Chains A and B, each alone.
Chain A
Amino acid sequence: MIAALSFYLFATVTLLAGLMVILSRNPVHSVLFLILAFFSAAALFVLLGAEFLAMVLIIVYVGAVAVLFLFVVMMLDIDYVQLREGFAQYMPIGGIIGLMLLAELIMVATARMVDPPIGLGSGPAIPDADAVTNTEALGRLLYTDYIYAFQTAGLVLLVAMIGAIVLTHRKRPGVKRQVIADQISRTAKDAIEVVKVKSGEGI
């Protein structure tokens, strides 16, 4: 009873927050609503017994991604009027494509009801929830069963990083950089000059 009630509560909040993300005029408010949606989705995960995913959702999405979003929204001066300018022009073709995709989705969804998937359960076996903790089950999947995919994803990220550096990093001449070796190897001789000043004459 309580579980059902809290499910409906959190599900409603998630949906409303999601709606507000796209409806609110102020982009900062949108990001804040997005955070609310993440929190209530995390609560839904807890209800499902996936406490590790819930924590990861909060730590990664709220702690890192949403904050990054906030920074971007605040730092970039996006002119939303300009963004919407071509909207009417692209509306007809965009609408047609959207309708086609919708029709396909409906067709596909109805086909699924009469024709359920025939190869279900052929992946790695789902472990017993009482015997293995959430974290361990996920770890086994990521680092044992799918280690190949996990490592490849790491390589993809590495290539993305190399690419960003190759395409944007420039050596600018005339920039004053801190060279610690130079600083340490300085001696009093290089830096200080002792001048005898005769009284009344100046330098």
Chain B
Amino acid sequence: MEQSYPNLIPALPELWLALGALVLLMLGVFRTNHVRRTVNNAAALMLAVAFFLVFAVGPTHQVTFSGLFVSDGFTLFMKALVLLGSGAVLVMSKPYLVDKDIFRFEYPVLVVTATLGMLMMVSANDMLSLYLGLELQSLSLYVLAAFNRDRQRSTEAGLKYFVLGALSSGMLLYGISLIYGFSGTTNFTILAGLYSGGATPSVGVLVGLVFVLAGLAFKISAAPFHMWTPDVYEGAPTPVTAFFAAAPKIAAMALVVRLLMGTFQGLVADWQQLVVFLSIASMVVGAFLALVQTNIKRLMAYSSIGHVGFALVGLAAGTTEGVTSLLVYMAIYLSMTLGAFACILSMRHKEGMCEDISDLAGLAKNQPRMAAALAIFMFSLAGIPLLAGFFGKLLVFLAAISAGLYTLALIGVLASVVGAFYYLRIVKIMYFDEPADAFEAPESRSIGLVMGVTAALNSPLSFFLISPLVAWAGAAAGALVL
């Protein structure tokens, strides 16, 4: 039998990160003194190089590793977003970790392995690689959630995430086994071929698909699988929460989109109602439960649940236009979330970090620039016209309407009106309430940089960026939906 070696070129970013994580680990283990900063900076640099490697691989459709791995325009788009999210979080993490005395070299290593898992999820072309990538990412995230191991809240968050994550993995695997048992294959390309011609699938495949979707809905924290989100977001160290809200959501969303639109597109009629349900439930839960929160991390958790719901509106449309709007929405969501968390990471009194919404009172007088940035993020998250968040919402609702889902679009608009209340409440607290204690001036320039760049991206300037973004997302969606 002739030996054939797999084509490694499409997986260059993954290989680079895998080898890099090992090198960083060795560096951290064997040179213990004062190496934490070096490892952190090296990790951020590695993510930047991986970002360029993703573009070097390019948008051509390539399948390698016996059909386990795919690289195309869609993976290019999603990997770029994931790497931006991870990299931004990594450069923002240091002050908080130093403050809590948990700045250890394992942190950047785990962030890199989690990012590697996300890239593998995005590039999965088989149930096998889907599951392995997901587990690599989840396992790193469980540890990161419990990273502040001496604090009860953090360990509780890690344990809760771990137990519920294991449960969701179980559901996912059960679904995968059903799909495999009834179709005879786990490969996405072959599955797409089997069900594209309007062939009626057997009940087993549909039941399996429901289970897989439930498992993935847990990972994107779509209601009714969102129960873990507020507790984990609140308990985990803030940079880790920022990471949770940014990168893994995008990777898991990429999986959902590839599975539903790329693989089971022929079964749109069967999964559409599920996605509509997930979407409505998430939007409603995100809008109403966030109203009563006092902790800003918990608020961001409910906000992220709601935004997943809005993004799923685009998927529910089941069209290329819908996928395009979802991709645009996720890109905008990434910039809004990173910016908001850059502000949360700057909330530091003399006694330490604080995370109550009431601590923001009168921020406009104490730190006008940070208040202005946070106001932009809040307006953008609420979807006020002319800011980036508005265009995201507009596109997903337009996609839903052109697919005839009027009720869904209507509920979405109503939910975003309710949601606007609590975003605007923060702006009101910052600008019109009696000033609370001033925050300490940030010592790290990188947080200010992330805040500034994302604020610029979300400001009305985004008007000029939106059409190239839509064009790029359209190309990515076109690569996925054949």
Contacts and interface: CB of A to CB of B under 8 A. Distances in A.
Contacts of B68: 146, 148-149
Contact of B184 (A107, A108, A120): A120
Contacts of B104: 166
Given A166-B147, A167-B149, A112 B116 contact: no
Contacts of B149: 166-167
A156 interface: yes
B128 A155 contact: no
A148 B7 CA distance: 11
Given A148-B68, A156-B135, A162 B110 contact: yes
B204 A111 contact: yes
Interface in A53-96: none
A140 to B, nearest CB: 8
B194 A162 contact: no
Given A112-B202, A163-B143, A118 B184 contact: yes
A74 to B, nearest CB: 27
Contact of A118 (B25, B132, B143, B183): B183
B74 interface: no
Contact of A117 (B6, B109, B147, B181): B181
Interface residues of A, number: 34
B400 to A, nearest CB: 31
Contacts of B18: 151, 155
Given A111-B202, A112-B202, A162-B106, A152 B181 contact: no
B140 interface: yes
Interface in B85-141: 104, 106, 109-110, 113, 116, 120, 128-129, 132-133, 135-136, 139-140
Interface in B185-220: 185-187, 190-191, 194, 199, 202-204, 207
Contacts of A121: 184
Given A112-B202, A159-B139, A119 B191 contact: yes
Given A149-B129, A152-B120, A155-B113, A122 B203 contact: no
B52 interface: no
Interface string A87-117: 0000000000000000010011001100101
B132 A166 contact: no
A3 to B, nearest CB: 28
Interface in A3-49: none
Contacts of B132: 149, 152-153, 156
A155 B14 CA distance: 12
A119 B190 contact: yes
Nearest to A141: B66
A144 B140 CA distance: 27
A108 B207 contact: yes
A147 B214 CA distance: 29
A119 B244 CA distance: 37
Contacts of A158: 113
Contacts of B140: 159, 163
Most chain B Cβ neighbours within 10 Å, of A112, A119, A156, A159: A159
A165 B136 CA distance: 17
B178 interface: yes
A123 to B, nearest CB: 7
B6 A148 contact: yes
A202 interface: no
Interface of B: 1, 3-4, 6, 11, 18, 25, 65-66, 68-69, 104, 106, 109-110, 113, 116, 120, 128-129, 132-133, 135-136, 139-140, 142-143, 146-147, 149, 158, 178, 181-187, 190-191, 194, 199, 202-204, 207
Given A120-B185, A149-B129, A159-B140, 14 more contacts: A108-B207, A112-B202, A112-B204, A117-B181, A118-B183, A119-B194, A120-B184, A147-B65, A148-B65, A162-B109, A166-B104, A166-B149, A167-B146, A167-B158
